[in-house]
Chains A and B, each alone.
Chain A
Amino acid sequence: MATNKQVNESLSALIDGECDDKERERLLTLMMKRDQLELKSKWARYHLISDGAQGDVPLLSADFSASVRDAIDSEPVILAPRALRSILTRSKLLKGVAGFAIAASVALVSIVGLRSMQTEMSVDQSLAQQTQPLMRLQPRQNVRLVAAPLSGTRWNLHRSAVEKRLNGYLATHTEHTVLGEMQGVVPYSRLAGYDQ
Chain B
Amino acid sequence: MRILAILLLSLLSSPLFADDVRHWLDRMSVAMQTYNYEGVFVYQHGSELELMRIVHGHDGEHERERLFSLNGEAREVIRDSHSVTCIWPNSQSVTVSKSHPRSPFLSTVPNAMGRLDHLYAVQVKEDERVLGRAARLIRIQPKDAFRYGYRLWLDKKNDLLLRSDLLDTEGNIIEVVMFTELTLLDKVPKGRFVSISGGKGFTWHHGKESKAPLKSSSPWLIKVVPEGFVLTSQTEKTMNSNSTPVFHTVYSDGLASVSVFIEKLTPEKERFQGASKMGAVTVYGRMMGEHQITVVGEVPLQTVKLIAQSIESVNPTASKEAS
Q: Identify the A interface with B (CB < 8 A).
A: 48-49, 51-53, 55-60, 62, 65, 100, 104, 107, 110-111, 113-114, 117, 123-124, 126-127, 130, 134, 144-147, 149-151, 154-157, 159, 161-162, 165-166, 168-196
Q: For the complex, is B222 an interface residue (Cβ under 8 Å from A)?
A: no
- Chain B residues positioned under 8 Å from A117 (CB to CB): 180
| Cα of A23 to Cα of B2 in the assembled complex, Å | 68
Picked from A156, A175, A182, the residue with its CB within 8 Å of the CB of B84 is A175
| Cα of A113 to Cα of B41 in the assembled complex, Å | 12
B254 close to A178 (CB less than 8 A)? yes
| Cα of A124 to Cα of B283 in the assembled complex, Å | 25
Picked from B69, B280, B298, the residue with its CB within 8 Å of the CB of A192 is B69
19 extra interchain contacts, Cβ-Cβ under 8 A, other than A166-B272, A169-B294, A170-B281? Answer: A104-B70, A126-B47, A144-B196, A144-B197, A145-B71, A145-B74, A154-B48, A165-B239, A169-B296, A174-B84, A176-B100, A178-B109, A178-B255, A183-B177, A184-B32, A184-B33, A189-B67, A190-B278, A196-B93
- Chain B residues positioned under 8 Å from A151 (CB to CB): 48
Given known contacts A110-B180, A124-B49, is B278 in contact with A165 (CB within 8 Å)? Answer: no
B77 close to A183 (CB less than 8 A)? no
Q: Identify the B interface with A (CB < 8 A).
A: 25, 28-29, 32-33, 39-45, 47-54, 56, 65, 67-77, 79, 84, 86, 88-91, 93, 95, 97-100, 102-104, 106, 108-109, 112, 131-134, 152, 157-158, 161, 164, 175-177, 179-184, 196-197, 207, 232-233, 237, 239-240, 248, 250, 252, 254-257, 259, 261, 269-272, 276-281, 283, 294, 296-298
- Chain A residues positioned under 8 Å from B45 (CB to CB): 190, 193
Given known contacts A150-B72, A175-B97, is B131 in contact with A51 (CB within 8 Å)? Answer: yes
5 contacts between A and B (CB under 8 A): A55-B132, A58-B182, A175-B99, A181-B102, A184-B65
- Chain B residues positioned under 8 Å from A104 (CB to CB): 70
Min Cβ gap A72→B in Å is 14
At the interface, is chain B mostly helix, strand, loop or mixed?
A: strand
Chain A residue with the shortest CB-CB distance to B259: A173
Most A Cβ at <10 Å: residue of B40, B180, B255, B296: B180
Given known contacts A172-B97, A189-B52, A193-B279, is B161 in contact with A184 (CB within 8 Å)? Answer: yes
- Chain A residues positioned under 8 Å from B70 (CB to CB): 104, 107, 111, 145
A192 close to B67 (CB less than 8 A)? yes
B73 close to A195 (CB less than 8 A)? yes
| Cα of A117 to Cα of B180 in the assembled complex, Å | 10
Given known contacts A126-B48, A144-B197, A185-B161, is B233 in contact with A176 (CB within 8 Å)? Answer: yes
